[in-house]
């Protein structure tokens, strides 16, 4: 199958000059983060673009959401440019009951998020060959983990995280001191075969870059994601929401740092990795 990640990279970087695409969206306000200029919406299916999902939308001007409240039912427009995406033209059409199913949103964690310096559990997932793999295989190495899922179509979210992982894998291609692992939290759809169809052509050029599936390993996935601080929900209802999270783990599974979302810079993360593996040693 044609290399989908290379295709995403081309679309993400070289589509300047193409017309922006704008979609009409219906959904319910879950959260408004003025400091990050974003709004989390539980939205219906966007025809021709995206399945139902709970996700954050960037807002260019935070004044545009001044009149919105939690649980408002809204209509708005979602525009995707060559390098970003943003929501605008919000219209309130009603209000949903505040009674929500916690399984759909943030779950009560059985496992607490680990603090920097604490030890991450040794979990077992599935590699692209369908074989079990675990973190202790890299006991004396550094590991950079990013959570992703293949069905995310927004260029500045999961695909951007994948691209940044590729940049880091290239930067550290000549060393065996670090491994870059993309882990899908979509434990229903993202089988090793699906992940391979998206990423195998790209990562085959990098011995330090791989992807792991969580299909059949929900308990291990939940343990790792909780300890790192990655939150996701709605997988079984095909209404996926997430916060995305990447983490640097040192030898003997020591948590060194985490990065939330998709706006971290590969250059700054690369400098931190270089400091750990080449300066501290």
What's the average model confidence in pLDDT over 73-77? Answer: 93
For the domain made up of 20-100, the CATH class stated in words is mainly beta
Span 39-53, pLDDT tens digits: 999 999 888 888 788
| pTM of the shown model | 0.72
Choices 3.40.50.720, 3.40.50.300, 2.60.40.10, 3.40.30.10: CATH for 105-280: 3.40.30.10
pLDDT-wise least confident of 21-25, 182-186, 210-214: 21-25
- Rounded to an integer, what distance in angstroms lies between the CA atom of residue 245 and that of residue 242? 9
Span 264-276, pLDDT tens digits: 999 999 999 999 9
Span 101-142, pLDDT tens digits: 444 444 444 458 999 999 999 999 999 999 999 999 998 999
> How much of the chain exceeds pLDDT 70, in percent?
86
Give the domain ranges of the chain: 20-100, 105-280
SS3 150: coil
H or E segment and range at residue 179 = strand 178-184
pLDDT band at 10 (very low <50, low <70, confident <90, very high): very low
Residue partners of 108: CB distance under 8 A and separation at least 6? 102
């Amino acid at each position: 199958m044609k290399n989908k990640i290379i295709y995403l990279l081309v679309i993400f970087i070289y589509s300047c000059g193409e017309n922006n695409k704008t979609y009409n969206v219906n959904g319910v306000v879950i959260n408004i983060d003025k400091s990050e200029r974003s709004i989390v919406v539980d939205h219906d299916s966007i025809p021709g673009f995206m399945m139902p999902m709970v996700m954050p939308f960037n807002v260019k001007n935070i004044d545009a959401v001044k009149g919105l409240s939690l649980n408002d039912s809204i209509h708005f427009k979602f525009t995707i440019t060559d390098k970003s995406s943003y929501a605008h033209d919000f219209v309130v059409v009603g209000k949903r009951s505040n009674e929500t199913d916690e399984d759909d949103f943030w779950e009560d964690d059985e496992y607490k998020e680990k603090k920097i310096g604490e030890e991450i559990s040794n979990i077992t997932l599935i590699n692209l060959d369908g074989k079990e793999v675990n973190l202790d295989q890299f006991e004396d190495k550094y590991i950079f983990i990013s959570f992703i899922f293949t069905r995310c179509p927004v260029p500045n979210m999961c695909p951007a995280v994948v691209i940044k992982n590729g940049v880091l894998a290239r930067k550290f291609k000549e060393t065996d001191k670090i491994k870059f692992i993309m882990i899908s939290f979509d434990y229903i759809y993202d089988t090793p075969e699906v992940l391979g169809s998206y990423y195998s052509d790209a990562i085959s050029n990098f011995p330090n870059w791989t992807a792991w599936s969580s299909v059949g390993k929900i308990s291990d996935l939940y343990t790792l994601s909780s300890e790192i601080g990655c939150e996701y929900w709605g997988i079984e209802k095909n209404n996926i929401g997430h916060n995305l999270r990447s983490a640097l783990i040192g030898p003997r599974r020591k948590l060194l740092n985490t990065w939330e979302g998709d706006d971290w810079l590969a250059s700054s993360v690369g400098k931190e990795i270089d400091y750990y593996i080449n300066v501290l040693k």
